[in-house]
């Protein structure tokens, strides 16, 4: 997989394959930003990536705001959708999670762009139809 990456994904199987290939590119310390409408596949994409790290118990952090998963590595999974103001993220120690000891996924990252690290992967998912998504991945260094 080369960046920028752009494709039309036509099935869950293609999504899983794309996520598996992306998982081979990321490493501890990386921050992955995911944006797209409700139901566009952000959490499914994260679940599929996590399977590449032998982590199976992935769920949406919509209500919890943050989920942590541990195996050989630690993955931190944020969802900014229900955050009303940036201070809520400071209260839960958001910047401590960016210490470089984890891989961090942030869904709805576009809601608070000013607090995000400049070095990241940005993934945008858009509906094409009920079964297809347009996916773009850009690496910012």
pLDDT score for 7: 97
pLDDT score for 72: 85
Class level of CATH domain 5-140: alpha beta
Each residue's pLDDT tens digit, 36-53: 998 899 999 999 999 989
Domain assignments of the chain as residue spans, ordered by start: 5-140
* Residues in a beta bridge with 76: 68, 104
The answer, yes or no, to whether residue 59 has pLDDT greater than 90, is no
Each residue's pLDDT tens digit, 85-122: 999 999 999 999 998 899 999 999 999 999 999 999 99
pLDDT score for 63: 72
């Amino acid at each position: 997989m080369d960046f920028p990456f752009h494709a039309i994904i036509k099935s869950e199987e293609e999504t899983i394959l794309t996520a598996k290939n992306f998982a081979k590119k990321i490493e501890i310390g990386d921050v992955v930003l995911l944006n797209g409408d409700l139901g566009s596949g952000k959490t499914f994409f994260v679940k599929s990536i996590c399977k590449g790290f032998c982590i199976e118990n992935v769920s949406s952090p919509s209500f919890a705001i943050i989920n942590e998963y541990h195996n050989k590595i630690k993955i931190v999974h944020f969802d900014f959708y229900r955050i009303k103001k940036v201070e809520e993220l400071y209260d839960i120690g958001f910047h401590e999670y960016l210490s470089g000891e984890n891989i961090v996924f942030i869904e709805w990252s576009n809601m608070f762009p000013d607090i995000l690290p400049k070095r990241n992967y940005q993934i945008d998912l858009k509906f094409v139809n009920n079964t297809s998504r347009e996916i773009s991945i850009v690496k910012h260094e």
